[in-house]
Amino acid sequence: MDFTLSAEQAQIRDMVAEFVDEEVVPVASEIDHDDEFPRDLVSEMAELGLMGMPFPEKYGGAGLDYHSYAIGLEEISRGSGGLGTVVAAHISLAGNMLYEFGDEDQKQEYLVPLAEGRDIGAFALSEAGAGSDVPAMATTAEKDGDEYVVNGGKLWISNGSVADTITLFAKTDPEAGNKGISSFIVRPEEDDGFIVEGTEEKLGDKGCPTAELRFDDMRLPEDRLIGEEGEGFVQALKTLNGGRITIAARGVGIARAAFEEARDYANEREQFGQPIGEFQSIKHKLADMDTKIQAATLLMHKAADKKIRGEEYIKDAAQAKLYASEVSREVANEGIQIHGGYGYTKDFPAERFYRDAKLNEIYEGTSEVLRNTIGDQLLET
């Protein structure tokens, strides 16, 4: 196995890292404080081709491999966890649904603007009573002539209040369980009956609006159906599986930010006449933090490699997301500990890293669900 980045991958890493250091890191605390969608930064990322990294150039994307995409998202998340979620929800979920399952007309009309960054995407799957239990969703889409009439609501939708295109899941056959779920394209500005109820006030992940949506007799033309009726559940699972690689990347990015901040602080902060980094207890913390980050990074790229090769990667993506999520929280926690009392204040970014890291263990598959997924895969072999 070759662990050396290709020239293109190294170039992508350096380009995104430079953008993050110059444009994102200086305003990260402001994004966290104001909790407003960073539209200017998103526009700058679009100009750099970062809003369509893995999509082919013919659809407006940058045509990057999944390793490069993961590397890019890792760097973005190193600067701001919220911005990392904005990009991941836009590309891995909304964009990828259209790329993998949309027809050519849908790709040209809806994917191209997403990949070029002219539009923002969201993925509307979860509901108040249907988080991990997807088939329990109550949103329905009833066929009426050449339209579908949608009623219901969605919760915890990243980018939901700012999205131009939303991939929505609803039951077209409420009696058929997961085989009765279908997916649709929603255009909030065009579709009457689309309502944003509000956005959540969250622990972290600031800058990425997490919205509650409602649909009151929202009419969608039948050409907004993605694939065939009844295919939505399988589409969602496949999309989330790929998305888990990028949430692993978000976890690695946040963990790196927490580690680098703690390492620099340990070199600067003096107690008992020497930098605290000279104390063995601090050295051991830093050693463990870096080792975990390296392991999480390898799991992330292993899953990406299998995806690129077209091999089965359900277990690999679940393991990468599970481990990187927990590592990000553990490393961020140790970062606070190394900072001592300062780490518990907003004068240092250590506490922000912890708040941003926690979400990784919850969205796109909780750690508990992922352990079930991994166990199922192991028992199948």
DSSP letter string, 266-293: HHH-EETTEEGGGSHHHHHHHHHHHHHH
> How far apart are alpha carbons 371 and 85 in whole angstroms?
22
Say which residue the tokens 């708040």 belong to: 355
Quick check: is 361 catalytic? no
> How far apart are alpha carbons 239 and 314 in whole angstroms?
11
Task: Return the percent helix, strand and coil in the chain, to nearest 5.
Answer: 60, 15, 25
DSSP letter string, 43-60: HHHHHTTGGGTTS-GGGT
DSSP letter string, 114-170: HHTTSS-EEEE--BTTBSS-GGG---EEEEETTEEEEEEEEEEEETTTT-SEEEEEE
State phi, psi for 94 to the nearest 5 degrees. Answer: -65, -55
Say which DSSP state 215 is in. E
Say which DSSP state 38 is in. -
> How far apart are alpha carbons 110 and 364 in whole angstroms?
23
CB 235 within 8 A of CB 94: no
Question: Which pairs with CB-CB distance under 8 Å and at least 24 residues apart come from 347-353?
Answer: 348/261, 348/265, 349/28, 349/29, 349/257, 349/261, 350/258, 350/261, 350/262, 352/28, 352/29, 352/32, 352/81, 352/204, 353/81, 353/254, 353/257, 353/258, 353/261
Catalytic residue among 127, 212, 361, 364: 364
Return all residues near 106 (Cβ < 8 A) that are at least 6 apart.
98, 185, 223, 226
CB 248 within 8 A of CB 325: yes
> How far apart are alpha carbons 238 and 173 in whole angstroms?
21
Tokens of 23: 């444009």
Say which DSSP state 365 is in. S
Q: Which residues are catalytic?
A: 364
